[in-house]
Structure 1
């Protein structure tokens, strides 16, 4: 007899309805991004991946925070800080969640215990987020070498990853403890669990990313016409008669005429854009080492709480394919 904790939360047909809505959501987001909304390339792929993991919820967040409402308004539309923080969180989730999900599929295939699995997932999520979505995709935009991009991205990515995993870890473990089919990537319940875990992870990671963007330690929501450095500051948009920044005008003109700057020119313009008001990434150096240490410790505390919840309400010893162990307060 199956343990009561192995009963699914809802009928499987609802799962397939969710997957169908997810497919439609991904199709729309991809179509809109690659035909209409001038988000920078890394954010386009980030939105597609996160919508794949979060379904209609991801579509709703995209609609209200990134989708260009009318031609030429993307910079102003994404300028509010809460939208900038959404962009940072999506960027984080695309890299971290992808690494975690891939690692979970591999460890499930090899039958590793959940207690080992979660830390391999953590390493994979952090590695994919840092070396691919942060450093590799951002080095040209910021005019840095790959090594410099890794060094500058390390601490912000680590803070963000800790928060992301603090949400995903207990969600995955608790759902997989309830139904151990969710430990195997061949089961639809695996993908349902990962979808739920990503949603929780995004919610938990958002406040940390808000702080990182506000303190210029991470970039916010980007737009191609500003070479990926975020929307035009609200203060500039609201100033009557103020002429646009020359570099912004050049970047916009290039986009409108279907031209793109050469790699060296892009790096030069990226550096110039980084020195514009509200876009100075070097101002991150103004954040004291003590404040960075405090926030880092806070994210580690969040991760510790996530681990406690996973150990308290889930089973870290379970392995794919093994019989469901008895849980306290239940009988077989």
Structure 2
């Protein structure tokens, strides 16, 4: 599933990598004249590095024409490619296997880095160097381990110095799907890390080849006429590329006194008529002790920097199990102190968790009719992840009650006994708080304070008697910073026991306010913080110009119930066409002497205001937030505005 624009590149890269590796494997094992260990080295490296591995193979190792391999691979830069390929094939295999295991086990990133380095070094040294190269290098397995230790250490240090910061930056940046092996992005990030490791390790491998410390590319041929193997050799052992072994009996057993320019003297191995895979040569280390100390020390400093500097910018205590799959909003500041819980609360809704999609024909805040059992009014609420359309071309991935944003309006009378059954279908636990109500403490709803959170698949029943009347609302009180911002709220209207106590109006309309953050098709919980600022705003789940229109006649009144259902922003709500009368605040009806006229009122999170507006003149009169940015859609106006705007359409003589 394509979740982010980067996913197009991810899938393309993986496909190209597989095709490139398949081509290299086919070409290597169908004629390219070199030892099997290098064949597999190029296949694995191309699998890990994709088209870059293919490019290196074609440019440095693929025989250009029959019989031309020996001459083609002579240049030192190509020998360095062969040496680095051999390093990457072994080390990267150990690193990749270790990365998968540590992620599945749930180890923190700092431990993961140590395990990856150790696994890569040991696999490269004990398997790809000492074991797979034993027949080529000659000597015992223990001898090969000893001879390969220092070159492998230097090469691995440089490779990990390049890999570690790239992997950490890409895995622990915005898109932390890269931390989890089950995500395609993980494999592309590993691939890019290996590319960086190859680039850093290449120069030192060229130097080690020139000093006779490591093998480079080699040529191995079968002489069909003689019935034995011809071994023209060009490799890190330093044997001159022009020296070809046509007949084993003709090979000189004397050491060469002169070496090609730029290479150190080497000693040719004694050869007899052995099958392919017999020891080809022993190498002489042409590096001085100060050079070895300097290069080794510098590689260790590079490794230390690559492994530790990222800890100043990222929380390396996090595990893939904790945050793998989370995608952070653009611009959010994350530091080494940012916890996994904070990241998960701020992360985008995973589109793969959406269980239903609704178009513009679906309305939010619909009044939910209760069923009555033994005199108790029973309401059923179910949470789920849905796709909700707020504009013709814009949908949000929302948390919803009963597939609505806002959730259903619950309406009953003072004195009613009510029971609300809540079933949770979210990926997170949840609870419900009945904002402003006087009820038993155990029914209040704060998670882990008055009740255990409702886990996925579980249900919880809230039951109480309504002892108040007025405008209230309900909302999540578990992961509230996330869940309320994603749509888990709804109006709670409690009518007076005596209808005569209601402040009368010709029309009754509830306005619930919300903010949304939508980037690249993903929905994040809008928050007043870096990276969390909203770019869409809705009234009752729609943005202008798709918000409702209240139709009235001159002289009629409308009671507008403003509910601050947003979780982090204040909205100064303004009505055109004359002042309104504030008659109730936070569910409490104001005494006649305390009522006041206004044309704007600040509606903060959790606040409610009931106002009476009288249609004095015919025409279209706006209701809108007086923060101008809140009346735009993604910073732009549509048909005169956007976001928190709606119309009152008053019919009558416009001259009145």
TM-score range, shorter chain: 0.7 to 0.9
Which has the larger share of strand?
A: 2
Paired position in structure 2 for 1:50: 45
Contact 1:66 1:221 (8 Å CA) reproduced: yes
CA distance in 2, matches of 1:176, 1:80: 37
Paired position in structure 2 for 1:208: 204
Aligned with 1:185: secondary structure? coil
CA distance in 1, matches of 2:316, 2:19: 35
List alignment gaps of at least 5 residues for structure 2: 222-230, 251-271, 336-528, 533-656
Contact 2:74 2:234 (8 Å CA) reproduced: no
List alignment gaps of at least 5 residues for structure 1: 1-6, 238-243, 254-259, 275-280
Which has the larger share of helix?
A: 1
Deviation string, structure 1 residues 15-57 (Cα, Å, up to 9, x no partner): 1111111111111111110012112111100100010011111
- Write the mapping of 1:182-193 to structure 2, written as runs, cut at 5 A: 182-193=178-189
- Write the mapping of 1:5-44 to structure 2, written as runs, cut at 5 A: 10-44=5-39
Paired position in structure 1 for 2:304: 304
Q: Give TM-score scaled by structure 1 length.
A: 0.83
CA distance in 1, matches of 2:296, 2:204: 10
Which structure carries more relative contact order (alpha carbon 8 Å, separation 6+)?
Answer: 1
Aligned with 2:218: secondary structure? coil
Distance 1:322 1:171, change over 3 A: same
Residue from 45, 61, 66 that aligns with 1:66 = 61
CA distance in 1, matches of 2:211, 2:313: 36
Contact 1:76 1:233 (8 Å CA) reproduced: no
Query: Is structure 2 residue 247 aligned with structure 1 residue 266?
Result: no
Aligned with 2:131: secondary structure? helix
Give, in angstroms, the shift of residue 308 of structure 1.
3.8
Give, in angstroms, the shift of residue 227 of structure 1.
6.9
Give, in angstroms, the shift of residue 229 of structure 1.
4.9
Paired position in structure 1 for 2:71: 76
Query: Is structure 2 residue 191 aligned with structure 1 residue 195?
Result: yes
Paired position in structure 2 for 1:278: none
Distance 1:114 1:222, change over 3 A: same
Distance 1:330 1:303, change over 3 A: farther
- Write the mapping of 1:1-332 to structure 2, written as runs, cut at 5 A: 10-178=5-173, 179-225=175-221, 226=231, 229-230=234-235, 237=242, 245=244, 248-250=245-247, 262=274, 266-267=278-279, 270-271=280-281, 274=282, 281-282=283-284, 284=285, 286-323=286-323, 327-328=334-335, 330=530
Give, in angstroms, the shift of residue 180 of structure 1.
2.0
Give, in angstroms, the shift of residue 12 of structure 1.
1.0
CA distance in 2, matches of 1:70, 1:261: 28
Contact 1:139 1:149 (8 Å CA) reproduced: yes
RMSD: 2.6
